[in-house]
Structure 1
């Protein structure tokens, strides 16, 4: 079973993290938060964005990037950044891989990116745009990884109830 992992490096905006948490619950994805966070995990804005799903979220926090690496040895980590050469569709996501996103104001630090150039990925955009919203970026890349893993463990069909027309 595919069990993907989203990693947020020092997220700053609680609403973004709440939305991402909700997406993780809806997809059976684990969320990893690398401190320092720009908010407290009990903040109202975080809970509001994550709605009542936050209690169902598989979330782990780490005191820093070194702590994250120590507790996830050998993890395959894709680094989402505007500085990557490859797009997010040019890689094959393993069922247990980690996809890291940087903080809203600065992204993933360059010293981390330099060490991980071969797994750095980007979402194509026109030149004049600095970056996409963090929640949108996570959704775009996560759903590509889920698609590549055949949406393993996810409901693929809805149930549309027909309305009766009297015309």
Structure 2
């Protein structure tokens, strides 16, 4: 199972949206405090809709607590400061993919220890970053694609029309 890690997320609607994406993708969500909101906040629940109770979510008091409770985790750091693209790595099926807070990203004092597993989403140079929820969806679904979408429904079904017509 893939793992999404949010380091000090600030905007409840982003975290709610990411929670919903994690439920749809079968991923776990890890939240590293301090959070910019309360877990029970209305905006968080609204963005996660009725999926929040289905979410496998764990909260940690800080990054050191996260590391202590997930020993040996292979952590990819999604950051605009990385040299490798997210498509340049092969994500393990139990990888941890960490994203930083909306206003500042992942602190450089953490990134220096993860130079080899830091990844970026390419974009025009004059753009600071993408929305956090969009970034998570892009990288998470690439990791799922690389692992052949384990356990996910890959084909839909039209009720009124047949594809075989």
Scaled to the shorter chain, the TM-score interval is: over 0.9
Give the drift of 1:160: 1.2
Please state whether the residue corresponding to 2:135 is helix, strand or coil: helix
Which residue of structure 2 aligns with residue 74 of structure 1? 72
Which of 120, 123, 126 is 2:121 aligned to? 123
Runs of 4+ in 1 over 4 A off after TM superposition: none
Q: For residues 1-167 of structure 1, what are the structure 2 equivalents within 5 Å?
A: 3-163=1-161
Work out the CA distance in 2 between the residues paired with 1:160 and 1:86: 40
Which deviations, in whole Å up to 9, do the C-alpha atoms of 1:7-66 show, x marking residues without a partner?
000000000000000000001100000000000000000000000100000000000000
Give the drift of 1:162: 3.4
Work out the CA distance in 2 between the residues paired with 1:36 and 1:62: 9
TM-score (norm 1): 0.96
Please state whether the residue corresponding to 1:89 is helix, strand or coil: helix
RMSD over aligned CA atoms reads 0.9
Work out the CA distance in 2 between the residues paired with 1:124 and 1:7: 20
Which deviations, in whole Å up to 9, do the C-alpha atoms of 1:63-96 show, x marking residues without a partner?
0000000000000000000000000000000000
Work out the CA distance in 1 between the residues paired with 2:125 and 2:64: 33
TM-score (norm 2): 0.97
How many residue pairs match? The answer is 162
Gaps of at least 5 residues in structure 1 are none
Gaps of at least 5 residues in structure 2 are none
